[in-house]
Amino acid sequence: MTSPPPAAAAVGSLAESLLREPLPFGLRCWDGSRAGPADAKATLVLHSPLALRRVLYAPGELGFARSYAAGELDVEGDLLWLIEVARPALRQAKALRPASLARARQVAALEGVLGGPLPPPPEEARVARWRGPLARDKRGTAHHYDMGNEFYRLVLGPSMTYSCARFVHPDDTLEAAQEAKHDLICRKLGLEPGMRLLDVGCGWGTLARHAASRYGAKVVGITLSPAQRDWALAAAEEAGLAGQVEIRLQHFRELAGEQFDAVCSVGMYEHVGPGEAESYFETLHRALRPGGRLLNHAISKPGGSHYGSRSFLLRYVFPNGRLRDVGATAQAMQRAGLEVRDVECLREHYGLTLRAWVANLERHWKEAEALVGPGRARVWRLYMTGSINSFETATIAVHQVLGVKLAPGGRSGMPMTRAGWR
């Protein structure tokens, strides 16, 4: 009976069959064996055969993510580069070709790989147990946002803004780029002193404070996160804006009868559930006075998609997330009674934003681990780095769609050209 090959030989052979090319990254396994080029930009380190057991039970990105969150595998070197080259193999792993089966059996024969399924890491959400749209939204928000404001401060920086910034110049600071984004939104909405603005999914209230301090607006921000609300209220009071900025713990479905001169939804639409896009915009349309404008800023994907039940993003990051085609978003806005007036893509800006967030996380890594635990910190490193790849390769994008609730006679009140708001 022949002994099994070194772990790196078996794992590397399987990876090559999935990639259909020689192993481009380094590989080091728990038995000390190595494979792949010694001068690769990154090395995949398998600390335990349990990492492979997870992948056998959940082939593809979910098994990889579970192993990474649990600390059973690591990446030394350039994680973004490794994600770029390994993603084809992770996709192929979901349905092994016959040529890969023999190599997969070699991997399974390694000592410690076979056995029962391991429980998921505690950072994984149990989405299937959530029932009802309101409960789903609240639990999804809690899973993603209620990790403590200090963790988000480390990642997001002083602006405390968790959405795509707008870099007028590529070398702008993150804070300057976020301020430029907030200012663009306010100008697109045509804000003037005394106007009433509804900020749906207001986060930590940075946009609300910008609209109040720079444009004299009276802002109502709504969020489902108690931690965000507390931060936003304290920040508004510290800025002397308590009389202009109101922050509520409220779901958008709970809006009733109020009228606003403008509405913005920034980074919120991705959390609106399946089949609810039109009702979302119908609710916001009812909240607008005639002539009022709505700006929807959201991540988009050509053709649209929802995160599959075994995807990393659904299980670990956005338990109720969904990406829509920008065209479908524009159609939903129009069906709700809004006239679409402008669409702008900020895809490249999100890649720059994420690079700044990842740099912040790495700079404060020990603090992040202490605040949220090593597993959650690793999830965020993987999520944000993978997102850089998705935006920079145009797998996904981000769009601002501006609509208006027409006044009687078809009057929009819009400027004749974009120069009117830029």
Q: Which residue has the higher pLDDT, 100 or 157?
A: 157
Going 113 to 117 to 120 to 125, the CA torsion angle's sign is positive
pLDDT of 1 > 50? The answer is no
User: pLDDT (tens digit, 9 = 90+) per residue, 21-73?
Assistant: 899 999 999 999 999 999 999 999 999 999 989 988 888 888 899 999 999 99
Q: 19: left (phi > 0), else alpha (psi -120 to 50), else beta?
A: alpha
User: pLDDT (tens digit, 9 = 90+) per residue, 383-413?
Assistant: 999 999 999 999 999 999 999 999 999 999 9
Closest listed residue to residue 321, CA positions, set 198, 120, 108, 141: 141
Closest listed residue to residue 47, CA positions, set 101, 92, 112: 112
Q: How is residue 120 written in tokens?
A: 């998921």
10 Å CB burial of residue 378 (0-12, 13-18, 19+) is buried
Query: How many residues are listed for the chain in this entry?
Result: 422
- The domains of the chain, with CATH numbers, are 7-108 (3.30.1050), 133-420 (3.40.50.150)
Encode burial over 135-145: b for 16+ CB neighbours within 10 A, e otherwise.
ebbbbbbbbbb
Q: Edge-to-edge, what's the strand order for the sheet holding 260-266?
A: 245-249, 218-223, 196-200, 260-266, 288-300, 397-404, 339-345
- Do residues 310 and 58 make contact, with C-beta atoms less than 8 angstroms apart? yes
- Do residues 88 and 95 make contact, with C-beta atoms less than 8 angstroms apart? no
Q: How is residue 273 written in tokens?
A: 């559930």
SS3 397: strand
In angstroms, the CA 318 to CA 383 distance is 10
Q: Which residue has the higher pLDDT, 404 or 6?
A: 404
Write down the pTM of the prediction: 0.92
- Do residues 391 and 354 make contact, with C-beta atoms less than 8 angstroms apart? yes
SS3 322: strand
In angstroms, the CA 81 to CA 289 distance is 49
How far from 274 is each of 64, 120, 136, 320, 322, CA to CA, in Å? 27, 26, 12, 9, 7
User: pLDDT (tens digit, 9 = 90+) per residue, 291-336?
Assistant: 999 999 999 999 887 666 677 888 888 777 789 999 999 999 999 9
In angstroms, the CA 265 to CA 287 distance is 13
Q: Which residue has the higher pLDDT, 5 or 281?
A: 281
Query: Which residues fall within 8 angstroms of residue 39, CB to CB, at 6 or more apart?
Result: none
pLDDT above 70 coverage of the chain, percent: 90
274: confidence class by pLDDT, cuts 50, 70, 90: confident
132: confidence class by pLDDT, cuts 50, 70, 90: low
Average pLDDT, the chain: 90
In angstroms, the CA 249 to CA 238 distance is 20
